[in-house]
Amino acid sequence: MRLSELQIGKKAIVVKVLGRGAFRKRIIEMGFVRGQEVVAELNAPLRDPIKFKIMDYEVSLRRSEAALIEVVTEEETSSIVSPASHGTTTEEFSYVRAAEVKGKTINVALVGNPNCGKTSLFNIASGANEHVGNYSGVTVDAKAGHFDYKDYRINIYDLPGTYSLSTYTPEELYVRRYLNTEMPDVIVNVVVASNLERNLYLTTELIDMDYSMVVALNMYDELQKSGAKLDYKLLGDMVGVPMVPTISRTGKGIDELFDTVIDVYEHRNKSVRHVHVNHGPAIESAVNELKQELRNNKTTLKYSPRYLALKVLENDKEVMNMLSDSKNFDKLNTLSAKLRTQVEQTLQEDIEQAVANEKYGFISGALKETFEEGKEDMRNVTRVIDSLVTNKVVGIPIFIILMFLMFEATFVLGAYPMEWIETGVALLSSWLHGVMSPGPLKDLLIDGIIGGVGGVIVFLPNILILYLFISLMEDSGYMARAAFIMDKAMHKIGLHGKSFIPLVMGFGCNVPAIMATRSIESRSSRLITILINPFISCSARLPVYILFIGTFFVKHVGWAFMILYMAGIAVAFITAKLLRRFYFKEDETPFVMELPPYRIPTFKATCRHMWSKAEQYLRKMGGIILVASVVVWALSYYPKADVQGELTPQQEAEQQANSYMGHIGRAISPVLEPLGFNWKITVALISGTAAKELIVSTLGVLYAGGEDEPEKLSAKLTQPDPVTGEADFTPLIAATFLVFVSLYVPCIASITAVAKEAGSWKWGAFSVLYNTFVAWSCAFLVYQIGSLFM
């Protein structure tokens, strides 16, 4: 806890002092060091400041100052350390020991440009399973992990990739706010070693903020392969930040990195010193004047005064808003405007450009002393590949062919393990048929659980193959090229290429794809991309597609998949065009996105990604799909007809029709009858609003009963209904059903993501109503037109 939270009369032990600069130095000199006991004695009449007792003398601190001192209380001691385990039971020992344990917890924030390998480093250090994508916008929130290393507990946070700490993108604003509010003990600034000039710009901004920092020179093997040489020890000494070469995808250098983090945390590293990035006489003079004004206002407690002064000079909206409540803000604002005008007139350029130029000048000067260019150009391979995959003639056909191969392989390669799992499920069902006596329990296990969950779990191999292709495209760098080649087409519908990445990510899952829209700077483009994303067929729809395409369109598998996926994309594009035309104003935000060099995806990273998705899928099997299957079975099983012995197929059909589920389905089915759907199909679609996989599990339950020897669900879908004498599904009804499933209401998780990311539940409601209307209209056209020819 923080010292400002300590109740009057209570005592605590100091763990660490946060903050930086003069404040931290002064507080430590006053005795607030690890292991010292401090007592909160009394509040001032207005509850601020607070009087504390430490080292037998009294000191007054404001609450804002006390909030920067971390302490441990008696109540926290028992949960942190067990005194008995250390050979003593004295209260004093356990109390001090708790402070030592807490003091050996280091909060580390990973900060760096997109594509610099932060998430790879995070995964290998913490053992987490965060996916790594070789394009901007993968990490859209802070991800937390922890691990123990040499008697220290390292809490590690993977922050979004950002090129700077301005407020141009949501990532930049998020990172800056995180650093200012959470105040990590050490920042690990991850930079691409083979592209130092661009990456070190962010480093100079972090230097301005005056945080304890270590630079990880990641992908150092690429620098070495190019023949370049870097004296990273001298470079670290020059900028006052230790530097460590790392290769995060293999783990090389990770131990050395965290050894350095510990040394910096414990103030043992000799390279650490605060260096001012010199911005030239005109800017430095203005910064010094603003620093003095900020100190007079006492607004530099949590922030580096130099950093604040630079941002005030730049008229940074976030900083100006933060300072707006401070004393004499009007005077500060007037002074900054005056100084800004003077600097711009002197340098004949705007202040942001002037600051950037000086920072790049500082970087260039440091690299001239420490860096020697290599003879081999490592981007030659990238240029050769780009000349083909981004070619104006063959670029788009290559993309379409890759999509076709992905869908074809998902079905064809997945058919073999899928058949093995189907055989295992059928054998289990047959075995239970033979060993269990007739009754509700037997029916629940065979028709409810095995018919529902077993009907969905067989599609796990197909899901894994789909994610294998997506992972390879992301990790190799091709996904960024897909955005590049689609930029013109996206511009025609009022978006730009960066919106294409969340759409392609939607092939995997709409929820993270919707969250990935945070990397889009324009609010209107972000909102449109969020709203059209549910039209992209996610992997949850894949079991439905495989079941029906494999049953009714087996001779045209690849084309059937392509038509479904492309139809969803077409509807998304039309919707985007309509939203831009009638609701949102035109967006002229420029398309700026890095095209990273191509990299060979590692086997370990690809397997980690696939296992992560398999784990999520299996958890869903044991969670929502299991529960929903049991509920659907119970509603279709009861009320039970009073018939002795096994039911005939016709009696089974009548039993289901008169069940609770039958009543629900028949009540709603008039809405869907124009599409050729009966009550069973209606019920399956209703269950699919929770999760699209439930469509298959519900059909598995509703079509499960009546056979001593279990058949595949695909065979049951084509059998005539015992009552009507006709099959519930024909090729035309199957096609209509697939169109409806591909477009109708998103799952609950997607609706929640839409509402959260769009900032209002009205957009979630819009997604439900609009998507369902579009799905019904398109399916109606397919069925009615198809009926004329079939």
User: Exposed/middle/buried for 549, CB within 10 Å: 0-12, 13-18, 19+?
Assistant: buried
Each residue's pLDDT tens digit, 318-359: 888 888 877 778 888 889 999 999 988 898 888 888 888 889
Instruction: Select, from the ranges 92-106, 135-149, 564-578, the one with the highest average predicted confidence (pLDDT).
Output: 564-578
What one-letter code names the amino acid at 221?
A: D
Q: Which two tokens stand for residue 89?
A: 């039971």
- Which structure tokens are listed for 585? 């104003």
d(CA 380, CA 393): 21
Is 60 exceeded by the pLDDT of residue 419? yes
How large is the average pLDDT for residues 474-489?
79
d(CA 419, CA 482): 34
Checking if the pLDDT of 451 tops 60, the result is yes
Residue type, 27: I
What is the reported pLDDT for 100? Answer: 67
Of 96-100, 396-400, 415-419, the least confident: 96-100
Specify the DSSP element, H or E, that contains 714.
helix 713-717
**pLDDT tens string 208-225:** 888 889 999 999 988 888
Identify whether the C-beta of residue 719 lies closer than 8 Å to the C-beta of residue 730. no
More confident residue, 81 or 760: 760
Whole-number percent of the chain with pLDDT over 70: 88
138 band by pLDDT with thresholds 50, 70 and 90: low
Closest residue by Cα to residue 243 from 213, 276, 263, 216:
216
Please answer whether residues 657 and 679 qualify as being in contact, where contact means their C-beta atoms are separated by less than 8 angstroms: yes
pLDDT of 200 reads 92
DSSP 722-734: TTTSSBS--HHHH
Does pLDDT of 695 surpass 80?
Answer: yes
Backbone angles phi, psi at 522, to 5 degrees: -75, 130
Cα(104)–Cα(97) distance, rounded to whole angstroms?
11
Query: Chain-wide mean pLDDT for the chain?
Result: 82
Alpha helices in 297-389 (DSSP H): 305-313, 317-323, 329-347, 351-370, 380-389
d(CA 608, CA 605): 5
Question: How do residues 225-270 score in pLDDT, each as one tens digit?
Answer: 888 899 999 999 999 999 999 998 788 999 999 999 999 998 889 8
Residue with tokens 């949850």: 540
What b/e string do you get for 417-455 counting C-beta neighbours within 10 Å, with b at 16 or more?
A: ebeeebeebbeebeeebeeeeeeeeebbbbbbbbbbbbb
Tell me if 274 sits within 8 A of 240, measured CB to CB.
yes
What pLDDT shows up at residue 218? Answer: 94
Q: Residues 435-444: contacts with CB within 8 Å, 24+ apart?
A: 438/645, 438/646, 440/637, 440/640, 443/633, 443/637, 443/705, 444/630, 444/633, 444/634, 444/637
Structure-token match 């998705």, residue found:
613
pTM over 0.75: no
Structure tokens at 466: 């789909």
d(CA 148, CA 152): 6
- CA 407-413-417 angle, to 5 degrees, is 130
**pLDDT on residue 377:** 61
| 272-276, 295-299, 743-747: segment of lowest average pLDDT | 295-299
